[in-house]
Structure 1
Amino acid sequence: MKFRQRRHREEPEINFIPLIDVMLVILIFVMATTTYSKFAELKINLPTADAEKAAETPQTVQISISAGGQYSINEQLQTFSTPDEFALQLRKAAGNNPDPMIVINADGQASHQSVVNVMEAARLAGFGKLTFATQTK
């Protein structure tokens, strides 16, 4: 005679979620309280000098473009019909400097094509250093 019903025995199960929570809290605590020191750091004293730095001023060619599309090289009014002619004038203005700094001073109302003409002429002349001048308010 069996008076008790046979109950299915439940297997114990391990819940990992609280374990993960505790591990994360421990990890954060260790990260927050750990100090890191640099043992491979070199301590050096750099030498000092009182000499002034020599200012390098490369030769520049100033090109101005007015709102009406007039061009000037180093404040000398120039006229040309093709970028090749303007490149020749740029080479003359550069003199014996093989690669001067070309500074383009274009009026705010000058056409985009006027600036592109100067850039094309500088490329044809073999000058690779171009910059644009602006003014501050």
Structure 2
Amino acid sequence: MKFRQRPQPDLDVNITPLIDIVFLLLIFFMVSTTFKQDFEVSIDLPKASSDERLVDKTLNIAIDPKGTYFVNNEKLESADVAGLKKALQKIAGGNRKLAVIIRADGQTPHQAVIRAMDAARQLGFSRLTFATQQDTE
């Protein structure tokens, strides 16, 4: 007695969903990529204690070892809270959702950093962070 073999159906793998996922991942990684920003003020930043990075439109306050302020690379003539607030208002306009990044040299007096924090807080900026260097060990 001869048994008939059933014809085997062609088994095709549908790769369309795989391609969709790969393109979504590609777009996600392209959008979430960070770019290094160079600043003209030469300061020695303290070492980072975490790997968290901030990516957004920001206001950068750089403070050199002498306590001189630079807001988005523009040197401020006055080193008081009023002058710093005026410069922050000029750059931010009415947008208080911008992140404020304080880039203080490791030798900067603490009072200069506190003054920058006070100026940002008095203007209503709630996203305040400090720039640090990654430890290269």
TM bucket (normalised to shorter chain) is 0.5 to 0.7
- Flag structure 2 segments of 5+ consecutive residues without an equivalent: 1-17, 34-54
Q: 2:61 touches 2:70 (CA, 8 Å); kept in 1?
A: yes
C-alpha displacement of 1:81: 4.9
User: Aligned match of 1:100 in 95, 98, 113?
Assistant: 98
User: Aligned match of 1:110 in 105, 108, 111?
Assistant: 108
User: Aligned match of 2:124 in 123, 126, 129?
Assistant: 126
1:123 and 1:84 map into 2 onto residues whose CA distance is: 12
SS in structure 1 at match of 2:66: coil
Q: Which has the higher contact order (CA 8 A, sep 6+)?
A: 2
1:55 and 1:94 map into 2 onto residues whose CA distance is: 24
C-alpha displacement of 1:79: 2.5
> TM-score when scaled to structure 2?
0.59
C-alpha displacement of 1:84: 2.8
> TM-score when scaled to structure 1?
0.59
2:79 and 2:67 map into 1 onto residues whose CA distance is: 12
- Flag structure 1 segments of 5+ consecutive residues without an equivalent: 1-46
The structure having more radius of gyration, on CA atoms, is 1
Letter in 1 for 2:90: K
Question: Deviation digits for residues 49-82 of structure 1, max 9, x if unmatched?
Answer: 2222233942101110000110000110013253
User: Counterpart of 1:55?
Assistant: 32
